[in-house]
Amino acid sequence: MEAEHPDKGVMETVLQAEILLSDVKSVEIQKVKVSLLRKAQKQPSLNLNFYAEGFATNGEEKFLAAAQKAIKALEQYLPGHEYFEFKAVFAPSNKKIGSAQDLGSEVIIRDSFLGLYFPHWRKFGRWYHVVYPTSVTRYRNALAQVAYDYPLVLVDDSEYWGVGNYKELTAVPINNSKFAYLLLHEFGHFMGLNEEYEGGGPTELEFAPEIKEPWSQNITFNPEATTIKWSKLLEPGISIPTTNTDYRRFGGADKNPVGAYRGGYADSEPVGKSHKPVKQCMMGSGGTFCRVCQEALKELVSQDLGIKPLTL
């Protein structure tokens, strides 16, 4: 098990334990329908499963159409997608997500396939813009109906929200006009990338206020050229921290030069310290994944494949 070092901002092993097969508990088999959408184009492979949430019994066709749309977005923007085998896992839900409501502090398990809902029971920042498991056991047991590496939840909803927590949960509303952006942005969070936009209030992705350097690959609190984590990708000769003058001098919006720009991390504490690699990125307001994020994604996919180094 790994956790970030509070001073260096790197992931370090903090716990090692032997897992015995005799201790593994089987989960109750649920009635789900699994569809193979695309085989991996390269080997070895990883399983990326789309899970349905909030769909009625007759919603399978709509879910599968959304899954195909999601694959197209991932194929266009995500490095390493060739190593993914895409499957769709459908089961109906008795309740839709609906709008975020304050239902009190008691956590009531949502009567849906995965049991997701807005975390009204513990408000933080923009709690109404994310969904969380109302029962971790229900969520994990549902995912475990099919072997997976990356679970990606497609929700029958049209409001603007999305969630991406590191190696735990990605969920987005399929009916929103920003579906592709939300899908890619939130999957970026699932892979460890942090916010590259400012404003809007704090998010659930903030680190402890006293931390000196976050481990997210695309945010730094220490923008010195000799230590910055993406130093190999910096434009040679660009100022660090990067000024607007240098941004324009090195190509501006046309070239999206890699530097260290004040911003990112939403409005999370510590406000005013974070710096991001570029001004336009999928982890900001959209576009494509910047070079720093692409390299980070390649490294994570390679790590999960168990092959390093790997050219994607």
Place of tokens 């399983």: 47
Q: Residue 131 in contact with residue 160, Cβ under 8 Å? A: no
pTM of the model: 0.93
283-304 confidence digits (pLDDT tens)? 999 999 999 999 999 999 999 9
Both ends of the chain: CA-CA distance in Å? 26
63-109 confidence digits (pLDDT tens)? 999 999 999 999 999 999 999 999 999 999 999 999 999 999 999 99
109-166 confidence digits (pLDDT tens)? 999 999 999 999 988 878 999 999 999 999 999 999 999 999 999 999 999 999 999 9
Residues 164 and 189: their CA atoms lie apart, in Å, by 5
- Identify the helix (H) or strand (E) that includes residue 181: helix 179-190
240-299 confidence digits (pLDDT tens)? 999 999 999 999 999 999 999 999 998 888 888 899 999 999 999 999 999 999 999 999
Hey, which residues does 277 pair with through a beta bridge?
A: none
Domain extents in the chain: 29-190, 195-312
Fold of 29-190: Collagenase (Catalytic Domain) (3.40.390)
Helix, strand or coil, per DSSP, at residue 73: helix
Amino acid at residue number 126: R
Instruction: Find the angle CA(308)-CA(297)-CA(241) to the nearest 5 degrees.
Output: 115
Report the percentage of the chain scoring pLDDT > 90. Answer: 78
Residues 89 and 310: their CA atoms lie apart, in Å, by 29
pLDDT at 312 > cutoff 70: no
Amino acid at residue number 206: E
Helix, strand or coil, per DSSP, at residue 157: coil
Report the percentage of the chain scoring pLDDT > 70. Answer: 98
Q: Is the torsion defined by CA of 216, 232, 260, 198 positive or negative?
A: negative
The rounded Cα 23 to chain-centroid distance in angstroms is: 30
